[in-house]
Amino acid sequence: MDATQAMAQLEKLGTEQTRKTYRRHGYVEPMYGVLFGDLNALKKKIKKDHALALALWKTGNADARIFATMVADPQALDAATVEKWARESNFRALTDYVGGIAGASPDAVSLAAQWAKSKDPKLRRTAGGIVVSRLRDGAEVPAPLLRSMLEDIEKRIHTEENWTRYSMMYGLIAIGSYEPSLTADAIAAARRIGKVEFDPGETACKMPDPVPYIHKTVAHLKKRGKAK
């Protein structure tokens, strides 16, 4: 499937109702409004096609760019492409998806370390996405980097932009849940942080309560035999 065919498929799958929902979540035009269930079904047919991913990204279409992160080959993602995608991401879901695919790229750890304290909020958020995805996948993340990010979350979370605060809280939860050596530190940080203001807008999103969330995730991982 080439980019023209893929775009035709995406356009066919899009609906105005889904576009309305995505707008509430910060998506920007142009977009078709394709449900993630449909994107995943199409992904199963294509699997990995890095050339297609690069072509879809160039379209600037929101659905196409999300789908690009789903069919890209992370091992073929060089640092320059990851940075380009991170900087060009123009809504929060896309930034998160870029962080997710970048988490499996060859330069993942070095990029996360480099961007964790960047002045560019997109790069900081991508760094968080890289780390969270690696933790969830059981991939290595150096403990000093995790500790530094945990300290940075505690320091900045109350002064960051609304949705960045939301992402940072999930970053804290991931560090506490998936890195046993920092579970106690993450819980202590969460208690010091206290309540974090969050405006969900027209969405159903809620700021998670980190301490019970961490305890629940750790218990779940132990039950499944996946804890470190």
**Tens place of pLDDT per residue across the chain (228 aa):** 899 999 999 999 999 999 999 999 999 999 999 999 999 999 999 999 999 999 999 999 999 999 999 999 999 999 999 999 999 999 999 999 999 999 999 999 999 999 998 999 899 999 999 999 999 999 999 999 999 999 999 999 999 999 999 999 999 999 999 999 999 999 999 999 999 999 999 999 999 999 999 999 999 999 888 777
Question: What pLDDT does 172 receive?
Answer: 97
Question: What pLDDT does 225 receive?
Answer: 85
Amino acid of residue 160: E
Domain chopping of the chain, boundaries: 1-72
Amino acid of residue 1: M
Distance of CA 77 to the CA centre of its chain: 16
Are residues 36 and 85 in contact, defined by beta-carbon separation less than 8 angstroms? no
**What distance in Å separates the CA atoms of residue 42 and residue 67, rounded to the nearest whole number?**
9
Amino acid of residue 107: D
**What distance in Å separates the CA atoms of residue 64 and residue 78, rounded to the nearest whole number?**
20
**For residue 62, what are the contacts with CB-CB under 8 A and spacing of at least 6?**
22, 27, 28, 29, 30, 31, 32, 91, 94
pTM > 0.85: yes or no: yes
CA proximity to 127, closest of 160, 94, 154, 149: 149
DSSP letters of the chain?
--HHHHHHHHHHH--HHHHHHHHHTT--SS-----HHHHHHHHHHH---HHHHHHHHHT--HHHHHHHHHHS-GGG--HHHHHHHHHH--SHHHHHHHHHHHTTSTTHHHHHHHHTT-SSHHHHHHHHHHHHHHHHHT----HHHHHHHHHHHHHHGGGS-HHHHHHHHHHHHHHHHH-GGGHHHHHHHHHHH-------TTS------HHHHHHHHHHHHHHTT---
